[in-house]
Amino acid sequence: MIQWQHNTPPKAPFIASIFNYYLSENLEGYAVYDELTLNLVKEMPGFLGYESMKHDGRGTFISYWKDMESVKSWAEHPIHKEAKKLGTSKWYRYYHSMIAEVKSYREHGE
């Protein structure tokens, strides 16, 4: 389920940044940076919300953004850059990321 920043979904269009990964055996510092970056991203201008799924060392983190400028600003944040560097060097066996424009959005549920 998506954790929207303001409890209601934004109106499309908006941006989805999709990060898929497979964790390595070396997770030293991973939990600390995971919590730190999640707390920081919530303070970024243009951040709309996120959803995260993890199972057996594989995961997906999708963050939602107002526009590409907001995505680029987060990509350049010094702590996020450090987390990406550590991820590449030790935390991830494999990962890929994608940026997509959400042109329509509907939700149904409890």
What is the C-alpha to C-alpha distance for residues 64 and 10, in angstroms, rounded to an integer?
9
Rounded to two decimals, the pTM is 0.92
Q: What is the pLDDT of residues 21-37, one digit of tens each?
A: 999 999 999 999 999 99
The residues spanned by each domain of the chain are 3-102
**Is 28 in a helix, a strand, or coil?**
coil
3-102 — its CATH code? 3.30.70.100
User: What would the 3-class secondary structure string for 36-68 be?
Assistant: HHHHHHCCCCCEEEEEEEEECCEEEEEEEECCH
Within 10 A of 70 (CB to CB), how many other CB atoms are there?
A: 20
In the predicted model, residues of the chain with pLDDT beneath 70 are 110
